């Protein structure tokens, strides 16, 4: 049995709360009360909100920062961390600390984030904070194999106590689900109320428990974009912004014990529920044109695009893809689609300075509905988690002084040269990479600024014209040159009488 390092660390740190050695723990802060709420109602995203009261127990020194630990067991699924003051709602600046030494070197290294208070916390002063963490794909189906029409049952598991950087006096965990709770860990301090389970309260270092579990039913669709690449191609000559999206999608539902085509067809006509994703809905701009879909294995049997729609003040179109074989649990599906929009709707120009503002990521929704027409409101449903994302923006040839701004921290931003047809000096491609994209990123935009002169605009036509002229000149010159051996003049024999 593997040691529960997080539980051991929590016990150690909690014990310090009663040892009177407040400076032994980083910063001289103490958690007087903490309530953690696990929201499992927006799967595959799991939202963890921690309401905590923090007190400065130092005698004379104010404290400026607050540390949040993310256990190493969940770090690779973390999508977002934010910290707000509960009273004012103001968001604190949060920074990820790289290579920070962990005081307890014999424990696995957690991921450390540090929030900066808006005003230094004075000695004896208390402040209430909300810590919001979003994780993707942290729950698993249990059982892993079901019948085509069987219920989907999921398992959430975590430690009953949090890993804190400071002593904790009192804490509890509340888990909320969307469906019926089938079972949960029966520990000393646990209770069930409808669709929620409470673990705790735990006082200081007492009643430290092993990892707890909640098993619940939820038949809604859950998809994972294992890889998603979105590409923008900027063309000033044609006032065109071409968008291309590549998807490798997986249905996270439990696998089927056996696939029965007859049963699947019958459920479609009887409007019965099953575990197949039958339609993929892609939200595209209202001004999108020239839309297309490319499927490597030919699984798309039907594709269509709605007319211009409007919902909550947002204008858009919906591209509907219906696979010939619906996606069963644990099945994968790969394809790419594209379309064009007018560049002028996304680009602002001030002489030679250009500012391109485009959406960070597109949205896709999977639907298991048996109906031919899916309600328009379904397009705003979140049920696809992006595990690995790449954004590429190809700027026109001749763009210089490129600057990229993303409204949140990403894994990497880089620029690389790329040559296309008839390019002479190559183009700049902006590449943004990020793992575990938070649901809120759908509303985010990327701002790319660059300089692009009129000479750069005419660079490619002038180069092409020069090459064509040079070819004609070389052809003309070559036609006037004698490259072979000169023929000998014919000898005329003179007849002599």
Per-residue pLDDT of the chain (497 residues; tens, 9 = 90+): 444 544 444 444 444 333 333 333 455 899 889 999 999 999 999 999 999 999 999 888 899 999 999 988 899 999 999 999 999 999 999 999 887 777 666 667 889 999 999 999 999 999 999 999 999 999 999 999 998 888 999 999 998 888 888 888 899 999 999 999 999 998 878 899 999 999 989 887 654 556 899 999 999 999 999 999 999 999 988 899 999 999 999 999 999 988 877 777 777 776 667 889 989 999 999 999 999 998 877 776 678 898 888 888 889 999 999 888 889 999 999 999 999 999 999 999 998 999 999 999 999 999 988 777 788 888 888 999 999 999 999 999 889 999 999 999 999 999 999 877 766 678 899 999 999 999 999 999 999 999 988 766 666 776 777 778 888 888 888 777 776 666 666 555 555 44
11, 3 contact by CB (below 8 A): no
98, 75 contact by CB (below 8 A): no
Rounded CA-CA distance 5/34 in Å is: 21
Q: Is the preceding peptide bond at 453 cis, omega within 30 degrees of 0?
A: no
Closest CA to 71 of 28, 116, 8: 8
Task: For residue 213, give both structure tokens.
Answer: 């579990």
What are the residue ranges of helices labelled H in 56-95?
72-75
The pLDDT of residue 206: 53
Helices (H) and strands (E) in the chain, counts: 5, 32
State the residue for tokens 């591209």: 319
Name 218's Cβ contacts closer than 8 Å, sequence gap at least 6: 40, 43, 152, 153, 154, 177, 178, 179
Rounded CA-CA distance 66/121 in Å is: 10
Q: What angle do CA 56, 62, 66 make, to 5 degrees?
A: 60
Half-sphere exposure at residue 27, Cβ-oriented, CA atoms within 13 angstroms: 23
Q: Collapsing DSSP states into helix, strand and coil, what is residue 372?
A: coil
What does the DSSP assignment read for 85-108? ETTT-PEEEEEEESSPPPS-TTSP
The pLDDT of residue 233: 96
367, 282 contact by CB (below 8 A): no
Compute how many other C-beta atoms are within 10 angstroms of the C-beta atom of residue 494.
5
Q: What is the enclosing helix (H) or strand (E) of 479?
A: helix 459-479
Task: For residue 272, give both structure tokens.
Answer: 């019965």
Q: Is the preceding peptide bond at 201 cis, omega within 30 degrees of 0?
A: yes
The pLDDT of residue 261: 75
Q: Calculate the CA dihedral of residues 434, 439, 444, 445 and round it to 10 degrees.
A: 50
Task: For residue 354, give both structure tokens.
Answer: 């250009």
DSSP annotation of 440 reads G
Closest CA to 83 of 127, 24, 33: 127
Rounded CA-CA distance 472/119 in Å is: 73
What are the residue ranges of helices labelled H in 38-189?
72-75
Q: Collapsing DSSP states into helix, strand and coil, what is residue 135?
A: strand
Residue 413 pairs with which residues in a beta bridge?
432
Compute how many other C-beta atoms are within 10 angstroms of the C-beta atom of residue 162.
24
Task: For residue 42, give both structure tokens.
Answer: 């927006």
DSSP annotation of 398 reads T
Half-sphere exposure at residue 491, Cβ-oriented, CA atoms within 13 angstroms: 2
Closest CA to 448 of 390, 409, 391: 391
Cβ-based burial of 419 (10 A; exposed 0-12, middle 13-18, buried ≥19): exposed
DSSP annotation of 23 reads G
In the sheet that holds 223-235, the strands lie side by side as 289-294, 332-342, 240-251, 223-235, 384-394, 427-437, 412-418
- CA–CA distances in Å: residue 63 to residues 26, 120, 405: 11, 5, 31
Task: For residue 418, give both structure tokens.
Answer: 């790329």
State the residue for tokens 């939202």: 47
Q: What angle do CA 418, 423, 424 make, to 5 degrees?
A: 105
Q: What is the pTM of this model?
A: 0.85
Rounded CA-CA distance 276/385 in Å is: 17
The pLDDT of residue 472: 85
Rounded CA-CA distance 6/159 in Å is: 8
């Amino acid at each position: 049995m593997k040691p529960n390092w997080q539980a051991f660390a929590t016990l150690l740190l909690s014990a310090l709360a009663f040892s009177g050695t407040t400076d032994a723990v980083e910063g001289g802060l103490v958690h007087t009360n903490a309530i953690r709420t696990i929201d499992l109602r927006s799967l595959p995203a799991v939202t963890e909100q921690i309401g905590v009261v923090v007190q400065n127990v130092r005698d004379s020194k104010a404290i400026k920062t607050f540390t949040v630990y993310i256990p190493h067991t969940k770090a690779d699924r973390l999508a977002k961390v934010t910290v707000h003051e509960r009273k004012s709602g103001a968001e604190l600046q949060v920074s990820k600390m790289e290579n920070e030494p962990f005081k307890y070197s014999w424990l696995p290294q957690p991921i450390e984030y540090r929030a900066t208070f808006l005003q230094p916390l004075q000695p004896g002063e208390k402040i209430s904070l909300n810590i919001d963490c979003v994780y993707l794909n942290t729950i698993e189906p249990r059982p892993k194999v079901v019948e085509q029409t069987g219920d989907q049952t999921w398992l959430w598991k975590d430690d009953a106590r949090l890993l804190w950087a400071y002593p904790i006096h009192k804490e509890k965990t509340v888990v909320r689900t969307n469906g019926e709770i089938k079972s949960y860990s029966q520990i000393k301090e646990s209770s069930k109320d409808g669709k929620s389970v409470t673990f705790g309260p735990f006082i200081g270092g007492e009643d430290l428990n092993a990892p707890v579990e909640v098993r619940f039913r939820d038949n809604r669709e859950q998809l994972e974009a294992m890889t998603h690449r979105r590409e923008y191609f900027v063309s000033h000559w044609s006032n065109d912004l071409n968008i291309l999206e590549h998807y490798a999608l997986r249905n996270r539902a439990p696998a089927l014990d056996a696939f029965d085509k007859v049963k699947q067809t019958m459920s479609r006509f009887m409007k019965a529920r099953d575990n197949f994703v039958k339609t993929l809905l892609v939200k595209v701009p209202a001004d999108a044109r020239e839309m297309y879909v490319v499927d490597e294995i030919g699984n798309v049997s039907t594709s269509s695009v709605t007319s211009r729609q409007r919902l909550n003040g947002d204008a858009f179109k919906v591209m509907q893809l219906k696979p010939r074989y619906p996606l069963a649990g644990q099945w994968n599906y790969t394809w790419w689609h594209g379309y064009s929009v007018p560049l002028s709707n996304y680009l602002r120009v001030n002489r030679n300075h250009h500012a391109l503002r485009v959406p960070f990521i597109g949205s896709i929704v999977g639907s298991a509905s048996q109906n031919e027409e899916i309600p328009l409101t379904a397009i705003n449903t979140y049920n696809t988690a992006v595990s690995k994302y790449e954004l590429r923006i190809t700027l026109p040839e001749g763009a210089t002084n490129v600057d990229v701004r993303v409204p949140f921290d990403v894994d990497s931003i880089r620029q690389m040269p790329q040559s296309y047809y008839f390019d002479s000096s190559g183009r700049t491609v902006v590449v943004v990479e990020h793992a575990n994209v938070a649901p809120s990123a759908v509303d985010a935009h990327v701002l790319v600024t660059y300089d692009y002169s009129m000479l750069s605009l005419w660079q490619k036509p002038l180069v092409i014209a020069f090459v064509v002229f040079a070819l004609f000149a070389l052809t003309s010159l070559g036609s006037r040159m004698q490259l072979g051996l000169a023929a000998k003049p014919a000898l005329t024999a003179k007849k002599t009488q």
